[in-house]
Amino acid sequence: MALQLRRKTHESVIYIDRDSAPRIMPFGEDFILEDLPIGTRVIYPNPPIKGLPNREAAIRYAVNNPIDAKPLYAQLEPGMKVTIAMDDISLPLPPMATPDVRQTMLEVVLDMCYANGVDDIHLIIANSLHRKMTEWEMKRMVGSTIHNAFYPDRYYNHDAEDDEGLVTVGHTHHKEPLRVNRRAMESDLLIYLNINLVPMDGGHKSVAVGLCDYESLRAHHEPQTIIDSDSYMYPPDSELNHKVHRLGKLVDENLNVFHIETALNNKMFGEGYDILTMNEDEFEFADRMKWEGLKRTFSKMPRKARRKMLHAIPAQYDVIACHAGETEKVHDKILEKNYQQYIVPIKGQCDILISGIPDISPYNVYSALNPLLVQVMALGYHHNMYKNKPLLKKGGVMIITHPCFDEFDHDFHPSYIEFFHRLLPESRDAFYLREKYEREFAENPAYIEMYRRGNAYHPAHPFFMWYWGENGRQHVGKVIVAGAENAHIPGILGWERADNLTEAIAMARSYMGRNSEISMLHQPVIALAEVTD
């Protein structure tokens, strides 16, 4: 009876009972069906907020009625130099069905620019130290008309290693340096087109991080900042956000920025794959058939084919809010909408947290989720999706499900390989790695040219990925990988392995006690657990 009553705490929180269905969990590029112990608290994403009926009209309204700024049309003058910067392929996840919201924003903004006699326009992808987008990806993002008109001379990726193309803005009063894209800096107006998928995105991060160089980034992408962020998904408690905020102030003093931000709902999957985010207790016959069909199809496919298939499924996100104008005020409005969509109130922390690792992360779009990225998803993103206090108690056990294959993409993640196989066996201490090796990697001429001329992440990026998991690493007592196909990858990461989830739960209970409170994040999920006592 007690369990039945507990079911009703929130529509996104379900407790496993004696008659509960098994749960679907991601397992890399596959999905598994697992029975969970009675009493396990399962956290689902909130139902998607209904999208705006006409997103183009919403964007047009936002730029004509901005917050704390003159309307965009009033800021445009014939002959002026305008740069339009936008988020890269790491947002949203997975890439959304076309037309991408950036395309819609661009269509509105470019129309307005042309109507006001502005022709000197450059479109820059604010990829920071992420990999540069391929031409195909760039075309998909903005549509063929805009692409054909601007690519490659006036539509390109930011290059954080192009000394000629960067210019120093200055230093914050905390001595944090900032060097940004020269074209953006020397423009009369910088318009930023943002997609705020999670609360960590957007705001001052867009320009101060998206268009900066390595030296600027390393001032805040470092272990202590991450440790001091509680969590980095809740900006008021994020030291990372505070540092970026200071840099943003510096940007505002030197650049005329007009920010356009959008919030999306969490409708990740459309018809056919919607079962992946549904409560399994409510499955109907058709849903069970969908699951059986998916499972059977996947069982006949090799991993790479499954990956290709998953990466070909576009997300069905809708725009739920759009605001424009002054960066901070716009961002505050968008964050409100993010919280409305994502916050799930949770009462009490847990001793054991179970989280499946799907093949979705900001850093592996169209490539493999390598072991370092598995780490960043587990101890970085999944651990940090909270407000107030972590979902898992300090010293608790985190169980993840992933094969942990030893596979890296040589084109996208070349420096990750060396980081993982050369450095991590020597030390997992983030401070030591930063001190001894970060600069060596950052200055590696071959890796730098792979970043500049190819589609590789910046050579220092694997370090940031390791730091990204640092507050999780400091907090979590033990990580167990259920279903890891080898022992050496979990070993290098300092984790334990189990053959399956049942064994992993038994191991976790042996550490945390038989009466451990167990919670499960029903992945893939974008939710912010607001944890109270």
Taking the C-alpha atoms of residue 471 and residue 364, their distance in angstroms, rounded to an integer, is 22
Which one of 68, 120, 135, 443 is in contact with another protein (CB under 8 A)? 443
The residue (of 135 and 411) whose beta carbon lies closer to another protein is 411
Indicate whether 215 belongs to the interface with another protein (CB under 8 A). no
**β-strand pairing of 350-358 with 392-401:** parallel
Stretch that binds another protein, among 22-30, 36-44, 301-309, 415-423 (CB under 8 A): 415-423
Q: Which of 318, 206, 211, 341 is nearest to 261 (CA)?
A: 206
CA 476, 481, 485: angle at the middle one, nearest 5?
155
Q: Cα 388 to the chain's mean position, in Å?
A: 20
The residue (of 137 and 418) whose beta carbon lies closer to another protein is 418
Indicate whether 447 belongs to the interface with another protein (CB under 8 A). yes
Residue 22 to residues 26, 95, 297, 442: CA-CA distances in angstroms?
A: 13, 29, 20, 46
State the minimum distance, in angstroms, from the CB of residue 404 to another protein. Answer: 17
Indicate whether 445 belongs to the interface with another protein (CB under 8 A). yes
Q: Cα 272 to the chain's mean position, in Å?
A: 24
The residue (of 160 and 400) whose beta carbon lies closer to another protein is 160
DSSP assignment letter at 382? I
State the minimum distance, in angstroms, from the CB of residue 445 to another protein. Answer: 4
Question: Can you say whether the dihedral through the CA atoms of 234, 236, 240, 241 is positive or negative?
Answer: positive
Whether the CB-CB separation of 25 and 523 falls below 8 Å is answered with yes
The residue (of 448 and 479) whose beta carbon lies closer to another protein is 448
Indicate whether 414 belongs to the interface with another protein (CB under 8 A). yes
Which one of 160, 185, 450, 508 is in contact with another protein (CB under 8 A)? 450
Indicate whether 492 belongs to the interface with another protein (CB under 8 A). no
Whether the CB-CB separation of 363 and 33 falls below 8 Å is answered with no
Which residue is it, tokens 């894209």?
Answer: 181
The residue (of 119 and 411) whose beta carbon lies closer to another protein is 411
Taking the C-alpha atoms of residue 30 and residue 473, their distance in angstroms, rounded to an integer, is 26
Indicate whether 449 belongs to the interface with another protein (CB under 8 A). yes
Residue 385 CB partners (closer than 8 Å, separation 6+): 198, 231, 233, 391, 521, 526, 527, 528, 529
Which residues within the stretch 143-162 sit at the binding site for another protein (CB under 8 A)? 161
The residue (of 135 and 449) whose beta carbon lies closer to another protein is 449
Residues 394-413: x where in contact with another protein by CB under 8 A, - otherwise, as a string: --------------x-xx--
Which one of 171, 421, 488, 509 is in contact with another protein (CB under 8 A)? 421
The residue (of 77 and 443) whose beta carbon lies closer to another protein is 443
Residue 175 to residues 8, 53, 87: CA-CA distances in angstroms?
A: 50, 46, 27
Stretch that binds another protein, among 21-29, 188-196, 331-339, 449-457 (CB under 8 A): 449-457
Indicate whether 453 belongs to the interface with another protein (CB under 8 A). yes
Q: Which of 294, 525, 304 is nearest to 405 (CA)?
A: 304
Indicate whether 452 belongs to the interface with another protein (CB under 8 A). yes
Indicate whether 444 belongs to the interface with another protein (CB under 8 A). yes
The residue (of 304 and 453) whose beta carbon lies closer to another protein is 453
CA 312, 314, 318: angle at the middle one, nearest 5?
180
Indicate whether 488 belongs to the interface with another protein (CB under 8 A). no
The residue (of 446 and 506) whose beta carbon lies closer to another protein is 446
State the minimum distance, in angstroms, from the CB of residue 29 to another protein. Answer: 21
Binding site for another protein (CB under 8 A): 161, 408, 410-411, 414, 417-418, 421, 443-450, 452-454
